[in-house]
C-alpha cells in the first residue's frame, strides 16, 4: 500500500543480485540505465525490450546476456533471433506488445525500469505495479493518461514506485520519508508547495512570432539534456512541464495549486520542496539522467552513477524566472488539464502524441501543436476514468480527433 517500502526490507534485498527488466532499452533512458548497471556487478539484466532497433538490441544482448529480449515489431524479432542464433547466444527472443507485459510481470524480476516512450508503455508499467515490482518510472505518459488507475493499482499492491523524471526524483529526495506514502497529506508533514524547475527549452528567449517556423531539428536540440525526440519536442513546447505538473499531482497526491513551475535555464536545481517554516529543500546535480537512475536503482542506498560531480564554483549564476504561458500555451493546457482532472489528461496526452508525431514528420508546424491539443480537448467531454478499457477508448477517440484536426488544417 505504501509508495516506499521500509528501508530495512530493501537493504537486505539489495545484498543479493537484483534482476532487472529494462523496458525501452534502446532509448535515451534505456542506454543510460545500462551505463549505470555496467558499473555494478550486483544488478543483472534479466530482460531488454525495444520496438524496432535490432542493431542496438543485438549489441546490448551480446554485452548483457539477458534471459529475454523483446522486440515489439515481429519482423525485428525474427531478425534479432536469427542474429543471436548465429552468435550462439542463450537469450530468448519474444515478439509483440504482450511480451512487454510478460517480462514486466515475470516472477524472477525484482525491478522494472519503465522507459518506453508514450502511451505504448502503459500496459507493461501497470503490470509491473500490479505484480508488486520495484518500478522505476520514466514513462510519464503512462501516469498522465491513467494516473488515478495507476496510483490505485499501486495502493492495492506491494509495489514500490520511484520517479526517474529528474524533477520528480528531486522532489522525492526532498520530501520527508513519511510524506512519500500514498494518501499521506503533505500539509500535515509541513510541506507548503512543490516547485518544479524547467530549463525553458531551446526557444526560451525566442519571440512568439518566430515559433511557427521552428524545424524538428531545432526543436530536438535541447540546451542541457540529450533525450529522445518526443520528449525533446515536449521540452521545446513546454508540454513536458505540463505533463510533469500532472505527474507530480498523481505521484505526490496533491492538487495542481500545490505545484509551481519556475524557469531555471541552467538545469542544476532539479526541483524544490518548500516547507511551512520557510525552509526550501532543493536537489542539485549535473543535468545527467544517470543520477536519478542510480538513485532509484539503489534506493534507499546510494551507488556510483558515472555522472560528473557538480562544481558550483565553475557553474556561474543560477537564475529563476516565471514561465511565459502566452508564448508556451502547452504549459497552460497541461495545468488546465490537471485542474479539470478525469480524462482531461488522457485526452491531452493522446492529442499531444499525435501532434508531436505530425510535427516531426513535417505535416504540422510547431505552433499547431497547442492548437491541435486545445481543439481535441474542446470536442471531447471529460469524465472520471474507471477502467483501463475506458482509458484506451478515450485515448483512441482523442487520437482520431487530433488526426482529423490535422487533416483539415
Ligand atoms: P526514446 O525515444 O529515446 O526511447 C524510447 C524507447 O521506447 C526505445 O527503446 C523504443 O524502442 C521504445 N519504444 C518506442 N515505441 C514503442 C512501442 N510502441 N512499443 C514498445 N516500445 C517502444 O525516449 P526516451 O527519451 O528514452 O524517453 C523514454 C521515456 O522517459 C519517455 O516517457 C520520456 O518522457 C521519459 N523521460 C526521458 C528523459 C530523458 O532524459 N530522455 C527524462 C525524463 C523522462
Ligand atoms: Mg523531467
DSSP code per residue over 20-54: EEEETTTSHHHHHHHHHHTT-TTEEEEEEEESS-H
pLDDT band, residue 16 (cuts 50/70/90): confident
30 CB less than 6 Å from ligand 1?
yes
- Is pLDDT of 2 > 60? no
The CATH number for 64's domain is: 3.40.50.720
Q: Whole-number mean pLDDT of the chain?
A: 94
The number of the ligand 1 atom at minimal distance from the alpha carbon of 289 is 40
**In this predicted model, what pLDDT tens digit does every residue of 65-116 receive, in sequence order?**
999 999 999 999 999 999 999 999 999 999 999 999 999 999 999 999 999 9
* Mean pLDDT, range 154-183, rounded to an integer: 88
Select the more confidently predicted residue: 337 or 3: 337
The answer to whether residue 83 sits within a structural domain is yes
| Residue of 55, 139, 231 with the most ligand 1 atoms within 8 Å of its CB, for mutation | 231
Instruction: Specify if 315 maps to a domain.
Output: no
Query: What local confidence, expressed as pLDDT, does residue 312 receive?
Result: 95
Q: Is 53 or 11 the better-scoring residue by pLDDT?
A: 53
Cβ atoms < 10 Å from Cβ of 91:
23
Question: Is 99 a member of any domain?
Answer: yes
Residue 43 pLDDT greater than 90, yes or no: yes
Calculate ∠ Cα 20-26-27, nearest 5°.
100
Would you state the pLDDT for residue 10? 44
Distance 163 CA to ligand 2 centre (A): 10
Which domain range does residue 72 map to?
Answer: 7-163
Q: Which bound ligand lies closest to the C-alpha atom of 271?
A: 2
Q: Name the DSSP class of 16.
A: S
Residue of the CA atom closest to atom 25 of ligand 1: 228
CA-26 nearest atom, ligand 1? 9
Residue 9 confidence (pLDDT) above 70: no
Question: Domain boundary at 147, 163, 179, which?
Answer: 163
Does residue 73 fall inside a structural domain?
yes
Rounded Cα distance between 257 and 339, Å, is 8
- pLDDT tens, residue by residue, 343-394: 999 999 999 999 999 999 999 999 999 999 999 999 999 999 999 999 999 9
The string of DSSP letters for 216-268 reads HHHHT--SS----HHHHHHHHHTHHHHHHHHHHHHHHT--GGGEEEEE-TT--
Name the residue at shortest CA distance from atom 43 of ligand 1. Answer: 165
Chain-centroid distance, C-alpha 360: 20
Could you tell me if the CB of 26 is within 6 A of ligand 1?
yes
Q: What is the pTM of this model?
A: 0.95
Does residue 217 lie within any of the structural domains? no
Per-residue pLDDT, averaged over 32-42, amounts to: 97
Give the pLDDT confidence of 291-311 residue by residue, as tens digits: 999 999 999 999 999 999 999
Residue 371's pLDDT is: 98
Q: Return the ligand number nearest the Cα of 29.
A: 1
Which pLDDT band holds residue 177 (cuts at 50, 70, 90)?
confident
**Distance, CA of 76 to CA of 52 (rounded, Å):** 6
Cβ of residue 343 lying under 6 Å from some atom of ligand 1: no
Tell me, yes or no, whether 226 lies in a domain.
no
Could you tell me if 89 and 67 are in contact, meaning their C-beta atoms sit under 8 angstroms apart?
no
274 and 202 Cβ atoms separated by less than 8 Å: no
| Pocket test residue of 23, 25, 29, 98 for ligand 1, highest count of atoms within 8 A of CB | 29
Does 86 fall in a domain? yes
Kindly state the helix (H) or strand (E) to which residue 206 belongs, with its residue range.
none
Domain assignment present for residue 112? The answer is yes
Q: How far is CA 86 from CA 63, 82, 90, 196, in A?
A: 15, 6, 11, 49
Domain closes at, from 141, 163, 185: 163
Boundary of a domain, candidates 135, 163, 191: 163
Which CATH number belongs to the domain containing residue 392 in this structure? 1.10.1740.10
> Over 70: is that where the pLDDT of 12 sits?
no
The pLDDT of residue 144 is: 98
Q: Could you tell me the pLDDT band of residue 270, with boundaries at 50, 70 and 90?
A: very high
Confidence of residue 337 (pLDDT cuts 50, 70, 90): very high
Beta-strand pair 111-114/43-50: unpaired
Nearest CA to ligand 1 atom 2: 228
For atom 7 of ligand 1, which residue has the closest CA? 116
Ligand 1 geometric centre to CA of 128 (Å)? 17
333: confidence class by pLDDT, cuts 50, 70, 90: very high
Domain count for the chain, please give it: 2
Amino acid at each position: 500500500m505504501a509508495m516506499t517500502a521500509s528501508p530495512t526490507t530493501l537493504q537486505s534485498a539489495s545484498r543479493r543480485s537484483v534482476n532487472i527488466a529494462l523496458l525501452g532499452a534502446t532509448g535515451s533512458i534505456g542506454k543510460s540505465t545500462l551505463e549505470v548497471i555496467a558499473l555494478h556487478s550486483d544488478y543483472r539484466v534479466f530482460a531488454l525490450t525495444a520496438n524496432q532497433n535490432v542493431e542496438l538490441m543485438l549489441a546490448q544482448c551480446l554485452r548483457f546476456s539477458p534471459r529475454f529480449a523483446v522486440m515489439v515489431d515481429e519482423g525485428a524479432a525474427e531478425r534479432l533471433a536469427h542474429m543471436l542464433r548465429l552468435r550462439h547466444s542463450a537469450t530468448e527472443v519474444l515478439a509483440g506488445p504482450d511480451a512487454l507485459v510478460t517480462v514486466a510481470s515475470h516472477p524472477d524480476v525484482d525491478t522494472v525500469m519503465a522507459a518506453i516512450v508514450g502511451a505504448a508503455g502503459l500496459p507493461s508499467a501497470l503490470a509491473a505495479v500490479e505484480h508488486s515490482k520495484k518500478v522505476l518510472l520514466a514513462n510519464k505518459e503512462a501516469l498522465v493518461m491513467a494516473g488515478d488507475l495507476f496510483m490505485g493499482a499501486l495502493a492495492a499492491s506491494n509495489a514500490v514506485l520511484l520517479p526517474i523524471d529528474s524533477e520528480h526524483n528531486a522532489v522525492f529526495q526532498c520530501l520527508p520519508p513519511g510524506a512519500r506514502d500514498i494518501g499521506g497529506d503533505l500539509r500535515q508533514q509541513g510541506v507548503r508547495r512543490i516547485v518544479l524547475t524547467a530549463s525553458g527549452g531551446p526557444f526560451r528567449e525566442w519571440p512568439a512570432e518566430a515559433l511557427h517556423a521552428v524545424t524538428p531539428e531545432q526543436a530536438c536540440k535541447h540546451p542541457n539534456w540529450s533525450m529522445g525526440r518526443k520528449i525533446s519536442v515536449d521540452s521545446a513546447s513546454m508540454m513536458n512541464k505540463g505533463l510533469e505538473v500532472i505527474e507530480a499531482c498523481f505521484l505526490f497526491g496533491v492538487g495542481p495549486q500545490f505545484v509551481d513551475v519556475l524557469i531555471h535555464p541552467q538545469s542544476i536545481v532539479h526541483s524544490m520542496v518548500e516547507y511551512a517554516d520557510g525552509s526550501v529543500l532543493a536537489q542539485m546535480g549535473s543535468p545527467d539522467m544517470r543520477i536519478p537512475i542510480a538513485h532509484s536503482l539503489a534506493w534507499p542506498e546510494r551507488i556510483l552513477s558515472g555522472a560528473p560531480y557538480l562544481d558550483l564554483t565553475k557553474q556561474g549564476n543560477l537564475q529563476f524566472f516565471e514561465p511565459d504561458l502566452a508564448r508556451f500555451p502547452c504549459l497552460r493546457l497541461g495545468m488546465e488539464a490537471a485542474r479539470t482532472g478525469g480524462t482531461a489528461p488522457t485526452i491531452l496526452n493522446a492529442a499531444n502524441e499525435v501532434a508531436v508525431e505530425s510535427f516531426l514528420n513535417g505535416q504540422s508546424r510547431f505552433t499547431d501543436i497547442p492548437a491541435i491539443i486545445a481543439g481535441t480537448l474542446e470536442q471531447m467531454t471529460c469524465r472520471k476514468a474507471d477502467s483501463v478499457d475506458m482509458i484506451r477508448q478515450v485515448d483512441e477517440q482523442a487520437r482520431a480527433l487530433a488526426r482529423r484536426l490535422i487533416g483539415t488544417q
